Structure 1
Amino acid sequence: MNDLSGLPSRAIWSDAEPLECVTVVPEGPNTATFTFRAPSGALFDYLPGQFLTLELPVPGGPLYRTYTISSSPSRPRSISITTKAQLDSIGTRWMLDNLVPGSQLRALGPSGVFSHLAHPAEKYLFISAGSGITPMMAMTTYMFDLGVEPDVVFVNCARRPSEIIFRERLEHMASRVPGISLRWVVEGPDRYRPWTGFQGMFNQLMLGLMASDYLEREVFCCGPEPFMQAVREALQGLGYDMDRYHQESFQAPAATDADVPEIDDVVPDEEALAEIVFAASDRTTRCAETETILAATRAAGLNIPSGCTFGVCGTCKVRKLAGEVHMVHNGGISEDDIAEGYILACCSHPIGSVTVDI
């Protein structure tokens, strides 16, 4: 047996010490992974999913920007952040243009409460979009490094296949551990390269195909707010226990539990009554908010043509003249139609008083 007692112990890094950049790896268009070490050789200790706040010496004074750690604490000799520059980026743009091996930066943290270790479960469902993949990468790498088979369905949405960050690394882990199931969703394929995976916008039908046992899974979501709202609405519409849903915005991650914003979505209340006014028929009916416009219309003796009843085909499209509905569709209506006041009756729930052109 080897005797390791003579090896020197290493201190744990704290933000009193700067970080030294050791590698810069391009991950895609305007996207790179920056890996740092502690000049003293100290090790990094944090929770997978936490973030760092970097002090960036941009012209005009230091700029503080927060980035999720994309590496795992199971590999403690270095720490990495992966970031993508948007059109209006200042800090990330500076990093891509100026940060090179040997550069040193001040950093604060690690901080944050978005980690699967804070919510132990037998099964997980990770859903992300764009660079929101970074905390999911950290948590999945941590599970992989434990050496036991996890049970995680990993969903990432991107504009096109070439913009899926960490695709090769994740596919390598999934090829070694059967318990990591990858699901990619792209808005469109790359030119001259066929795509056989999911295509379009994430929706309820995709969710059922990706993880049929989603009701049994702890869900973690990260991405732009409109994307996370769509995920929440899909889960709520399927009866998911939202107490088991956790999210992190890559623009404003929460440092403590008290910083986690309260989710204030409009959700139909089964105990609340709604009123539907049928303008063309000069009739009115009352129903529970959890009943669809289509079902309430039929119960009132009126008819709306319908097909799939899942928000896919668009057959039940009607114009909403007044009021508010909660609609979770699966691609059967365009954003232009929605802007003009149209809804899909099969997947729209009345909130309060609603007037429709029926």
Structure 2
Amino acid sequence: MTIMETDIPELSEPNSFGLQNGRPAAVRSRRNLEPCWAESDVMDLVCSQVLAVTHDVKTFVFTTPDRRPFDFEAGQFITIRVEIDGELMTRCYTIASPPTRPDRLAITVKRVPDGVVSNWLHDNLEPGNWISMHAPAGAFVLPEEDAPKYLFLSAGSGITPVLSMTRTLYDLGSEADILFVHSARTPADIIYRGELEAMARLMPNLRVAEICEGDAPTERWMGLQGRISKPVLEILAPDLEERETYICGPAGYMAAAKSLLEELGYDMDKYHEESFDFGAPEVPAPTAAPPMEQDAEEEAAAGFSIEFARSGKMITCGPDETILEAAIAAGMRPMSACGQGMCGTCKVSMLSGEVDMKHNGGIRPKEVANQKVLICCSKPLGDIQLDC
């Protein structure tokens, strides 16, 4: 769903990120300013607000130094770059704010045990601090034309992309029938519980169902208890087949929910999922070739030469491995995050050569035309030279 300036209601400036005193305000784009990231894929943004959402979740709100508007689609994510103990680290986070409020961009981050970046953000990032951020990316977005009915399924911090979608539909006064089903450990772990329930009170076509595994220390849970299940889906969504489904959460939750939908005979063409199980790409272990194939294997094993023009380094990349895998195997540490061709963090200019690039939306057509490549999903077709 592309948000046009004429779609955004002209309301007063909101007092905070969440709902206050009824319907949240949506801010019009500034006509005379180019949107953020129009000139560069990486921008330095200033943290303008830090909000404690639950006992282990915070929202970080960012603005541009020159107050440029943000341009993205609900459901997309950004990649941040932070230096921790002298090491540059990258992480992908879904944008929690809606594009209907283009004066700000927010990410909602759960503190993960032993999570280096999430703990650093919780403990160190304060209003006034600066952070580097890559342009929004991702294809987990609403359809161009509003669907008549939606089913949003989320668990834990996977709520953020569908929360952005819900905020967007709310701001625009969408008439779509929205069923939002969120799963959490306890009621104290429901992210933006108050806002979701307030939106449901103010938006007759929005239903919010929360499922908790148990009670919180200070609250006995009186709602749906346990986990997402076939009977629960059948009760909540008897019209399931009519709904466009968007789902995000931990891998186990998503696998279980997808299996339930398939068991119910749901049309999976209307199924959309997002997962942020991003990690360092694994370098495939070598396997022995049959004797009759060894000559061909040995010839191919020589691979292609990859020259990193700026650093002066040269490595060899096999025909069946990505440039990123080869670089890591050679002891290099190029910038990367998702490893799936989604976030754009590993984007570089190719000075010569050809690659087979199978990306997932992390690079734009005009960038491909200008010889940009994502090294995490590019395999060389010959010797190449990179501008890095």
Paired residues for 1:317-356 under 5 Å: none
* Equivalent position amino acid for 2:132 in 1: R
* 1:55–1:120 Cα change, 3 Å: same
Paired residues for 1:202-241 under 5 Å: 202-241=228-267
Per mean C-alpha deviation after superposition, the further-off stretch among 115-124 and 54-63 is 115-124
Confirm or deny that 1:183 pairs with 2:209: yes
SS in 2 for 1:165: coil
Match of 1:93 among 119, 123, 148: 119
Structure 1 residue 258, shift from structure 2 partner: 4.5
Match of 1:58 among 84, 93, 98: 84
Aligned to 1:200: 226
* 1:213–1:58 Cα change, 3 Å: same
* Equivalent position amino acid for 2:34 in 1: A
Does the CA contact (< 8 Å) of 2:156 and 2:190 recur in 1? yes
Does the CA contact (< 8 Å) of 1:47 and 1:117 recur in 2? no
* 1:234–1:11 Cα change, 3 Å: same
* 1:67–1:112 Cα change, 3 Å: same
* Equivalent position amino acid for 1:107 in 2: M
Structure 1 residue 195, shift from structure 2 partner: 2.0
Paired residues for 1:1-358 under 5 Å: 9-14=32-37, 15-117=41-143, 120-252=146-278, 255=342, 258-259=359-360
Does the CA contact (< 8 Å) of 2:187 and 2:219 recur in 1? no
Does the CA contact (< 8 Å) of 1:21 and 1:36 recur in 2? yes
**Bigger radius of gyration:** 1
Aligned to 2:306: none
Aligned to 2:372: none
Deviation string, structure 1 residues 40-66 (Cα, Å, up to 9, x no partner): 110001000000000011113110000
Gaps of 5+ in 1: 261-358
Runs of 4+ with >4 A deviation: none
* Equivalent position amino acid for 1:149 in 2: E
SS in 1 for 2:43: coil
* Distance in 1 separating the partners of 2:166 and 2:240: 18
Per mean C-alpha deviation after superposition, the further-off stretch among 147-156 and 27-36 is 147-156
* Equivalent position amino acid for 2:174 in 1: V
* Distance in 1 separating the partners of 2:31 and 2:251: 46
Aligned to 1:316: none
Structure 1 residue 174, shift from structure 2 partner: 1.1
SS in 2 for 1:71: coil
Deviation string, structure 1 residues 142-176 (Cα, Å, up to 9, x no partner): 00011233311001100000110011111111111
* 1:212–1:258 Cα change, 3 Å: farther
SS in 2 for 1:54: strand
Does the CA contact (< 8 Å) of 2:251 and 2:277 recur in 1? no
* 1:119–1:238 Cα change, 3 Å: farther
Per mean C-alpha deviation after superposition, the further-off stretch among 11-20 and 67-76 is 11-20
* Equivalent position amino acid for 1:89 in 2: G
Gaps of 5+ in 2: 1-9, 11-29, 279-337, 344-357, 362-388
SS in 2 for 1:62: strand
* Equivalent position amino acid for 1:80 in 2: A
Structure 1 residue 243, shift from structure 2 partner: 1.4
* Distance in 2 separating the partners of 1:40 and 1:17: 12
Per mean C-alpha deviation after superposition, the further-off stretch among 109-118 and 88-97 is 109-118
Equivalent residue pairs, number: 255
* Distance in 1 separating the partners of 2:165 and 2:174: 14
SS in 2 for 1:184: strand
Deviation string, structure 1 residues 45-91 (Cα, Å, up to 9, x no partner): 10000000000111131100000000001000000000102112111
Structure 1 residue 212, shift from structure 2 partner: 1.3
Structure 1 residue 8, shift from structure 2 partner: 6.5
